[in-house]
Amino acid sequence: MIKTRQLFDQETWTFTYLLFDDESKEAIFIDPVLEQMERDLSLIDRLNLKLIAVLETHVHADHVTSANEIRKITGVKVYYGSKSGIDCADVLLDDGDHVKIGNEFIIAIHTPGHTVGCTTYLVDNKLFTGDTLFIGGTGRTDFQGGSANSTYESCRKKLFTLPDDTLIYPAHNYKGLTISTVGEERKWNPNVGDGITKEKFIENEKNKNRPYPHRFDIAVPANMECGSDSPNK
């Protein structure tokens, strides 16, 4: 069983996840935040873990990832979904590809909608959904190649086909919630839950007047380079 630590960045309301295997001591970060890198690497040291990879769920628009800085310090590989459109990753994961940690495997699931390249990661009974599926919501679909149609399909035809007790760990939550389940979101999610048709969801997305992300112009260019203007330094 892979263990999980849920870490939080207060400024951007972002969850970072540390996954680790007790026996091998191998560890992986999902969606680390640049300003929290010292905290995150200190936790690796304190738990006597060996970091082997950084996994990104997508090209973020609200914070700069620490993936490249962690790579420069530790030498680990950076992974993105193969539809992300970036050149800085060491490994681009196709739908269904696996990342080994200890004796287990993390499965990459392409879940486009918030962005074209959004990727969810599944290990054991845990889903790390990035900005595709939130607790009681979904990621916005009005920029970065977003598609309401794709979000609905990703949630209903991929994520919601998993067992009801599968745990959902999102990239953000703005109401103090931390974990949900597939069964809860399938039943209660007001955006893509049971009883919400694709047509209704698409219409709802069209009618939302969302503000321009205040860090978009900084975060997206930096994250297209894995968090650095010069990823190969």
Convert the pLDDT of each residue in 165-175 to its tens digit: 999 999 999 99
Strands of the sheet with 167-170, listed across from one edge? 98-101, 104-110, 119-123, 126-130, 167-170, 180-181
pLDDT category at 232 given cuts 50, 70, 90 is: very low
**Amino acid residing at 12:** T
CB 191 within 8 A of CB 138: yes
**Amino acid residing at 22:** D
Whether 16 shows a pLDDT value over 70: the answer reads yes
**Amino acid residing at 2:** I
Which domains are delineated in the chain? 3-212 (3.60.15.10)
User: Three-state SS for 122?
Assistant: strand
User: What mean pLDDT is predicted for residues 122-145?
Assistant: 97
**Per residue in 136-158, pLDDT tens?**
999 999 999 999 999 999 999 99
- Kindly report the pTM of this predicted structure: 0.96
pLDDT category at 233 given cuts 50, 70, 90 is: very low
Strand partners, 1: none
User: What mean pLDDT is predicted for residues 194-213?
Assistant: 95
Taking the CA atoms of the chain, what radius of gyration do you get in angstroms?
Answer: 17
pLDDT category at 231 given cuts 50, 70, 90 is: very low
| 217/25 Cα distance (integer angstroms) | 38
Q: Where are the beta strands (DSSP E) in the chain?
A: 3-9, 14-20, 26-30, 50-55, 77-81, 91-93, 98-101, 104-110, 119-123, 126-130, 133-134, 137-138, 167-170, 180-181
| 53/50 Cα distance (integer angstroms) | 9
Per-residue pLDDT, 213 = 87
**Per residue in 23-43, pLDDT tens?**
999 999 999 999 999 999 999
Nearest C-alpha neighbor of 36 from the set 14, 5, 60, 59: 14
Reading the block at residue 125, the tokens are 């009974």
pLDDT category at 15 given cuts 50, 70, 90 is: very high
